[in-house]
Amino acid sequence: MKSFVGTNTEASGTEDRYPSRVGDKPVIIERRDPTVYSEWSEDSPLTREQSAFYETNGYLFLESFFTDEEIAEWREELRRLQEHYRTRDAKEVIREPGGGEVRSIFAVHDRNDVFRQAARHPRLLNIVRYLLGGDVYVHQSRINYKPGFAGKEFYWHSDFETWHVEDGMPAMRALSCSIALEDNYPFNGPLMVIPGSHRKFVSCVGRTPENHFRSSLRKQEYGVPDPGSLTALVRESGIETPIGRKGSIVLFDCNIMHGSNSNITPYPRSNVFIVYNSVANKLQAPYSGQAPRPTYIAAR
């Protein structure tokens, strides 16, 4: 497995190749980093087609990646945590807007034995190391509950936009793995991605107030892409909803534009969400010039 030495500039320190929340007008900037950081070979943990699909589309769906036993264990832990936090507060716990239901629990890879093991799953890590070209660490992890009846939407966003501006992630050399803990349907608010959008960076308008992160995890207000840019991206390549049975995973590039609709069905859509970042892409000071977010949201 060989990294493309020299093609990324993650060590550039303060140079901001992806400025956002600095202007009055949205701008679309071409990606200046690779998407797949290794050269494919027979020994790679993905097929040539899978690797090419990820490079072109910015995501890869793998049906039944985890076994029913693994999922059963994680679901049990998920329910235990939900019960635990029903009546207790913790800074890692985010609740649904306008309600007390648990929406997300952060840093589960760090504070929970079960999900620490999940994040280190060897078969998964192999693929992640291949895509990111070498050693990785967990930048962020969380459980998203997306409960039935009341799961609200996540509006369109590029994770990288936030991680860059608010956390100081220099380059696009990170990816997310979303593990479905429930069967996903077209109608229970599945992840929607705009294929190929990872190759464009939508620079958003507006500035970020200090310490807005707690409310932003409930409802986004900053770093929101404008309707014109979204329409342009969708016109180019449409929308995909990679869905499948529980145990399926979606790997997606840190800069792919994604979101999800609300979920009024009785089917919850819980998932575990683990973000891996290359060790060569460690966080700098946030490009917003503001204080960094807490480490349970962005590991340093």
Could you say whether residue 239 binds its own copies (CB under 8 A)?
yes
Taking 3-state DSSP, the helix, strand and coil percentages for the chain, each rounded to the nearest 5, stand at 25, 25, 50
Contacts with its own copies: how many residues (CB under 8 A)?
A: 28
| CB 266 to its own copies: min, Å | 4
Residue count (the chain): 300
Q: From 267, 265, 195, select the one nearest 233 (Cα to Cα).
A: 195
| CB 298 to its own copies: min, Å | 25
Cα(246)–Cα(283) distance, integer angstroms: 33
CB within 8 A of 195, min separation 6: which ones?
56, 57, 58, 59, 237, 238, 240
> Around 74, how many Cα atoms within 13 Å sit in the side-chain half-sphere?
28
| CB 226 to its own copies: min, Å | 10
| CB 158 to its own copies: min, Å | 14
| CB 63 to its own copies: min, Å | 18
Pick one of 58, 133, 259, 268: the residue that binds its own copies (CB under 8 A): 259
Both ends of the chain: CA-CA distance in Å?
26
Pick one of 230, 249, 250, 272: the residue that binds its own copies (CB under 8 A): 230
Contact region with its own copies (CB under 8 A), list: 52-60, 74-82, 102-110, 264-272: 264-272
Please, which of residues 169-188 interact with its own copies by CB under 8 A? 185-187
Q: Which is nearer to its own copies, 237 or 290 (CB)?
A: 237
| CB 228 to its own copies: min, Å | 10
Could you say whether residue 264 binds its own copies (CB under 8 A)?
yes
Binding string to its own copies for residues 115 to 154, with x set by CB under 8 A, is what?
Answer: ---------------------------------xx--xx-
Task: Kindly report each contact of residues 100-106 with a partner whose C-beta sits within 8 Å and lies 24 or more positions away, as own/partner.
Answer: 101/145, 101/147, 101/150, 102/145, 103/144, 103/145, 103/146, 103/152, 103/217, 103/218, 104/142, 104/143, 104/144, 104/145, 104/217, 105/81, 105/142, 105/143, 106/140, 106/141, 106/142, 106/296, 106/297
CB 138 within 8 A of CB 275: yes
Radius of gyration in angstroms for the set of CA atoms belonging to the chain, rounded to a whole number: 18
Could you say whether residue 44 binds its own copies (CB under 8 A)?
no
| CB 61 to its own copies: min, Å | 15
Could you say whether residue 98 binds its own copies (CB under 8 A)?
no
Which chain residues interact with its own copies by CB under 8 A?
Answer: 148-149, 152-153, 155-156, 185-187, 189-190, 192, 227, 230-231, 234-235, 239, 241, 259-267
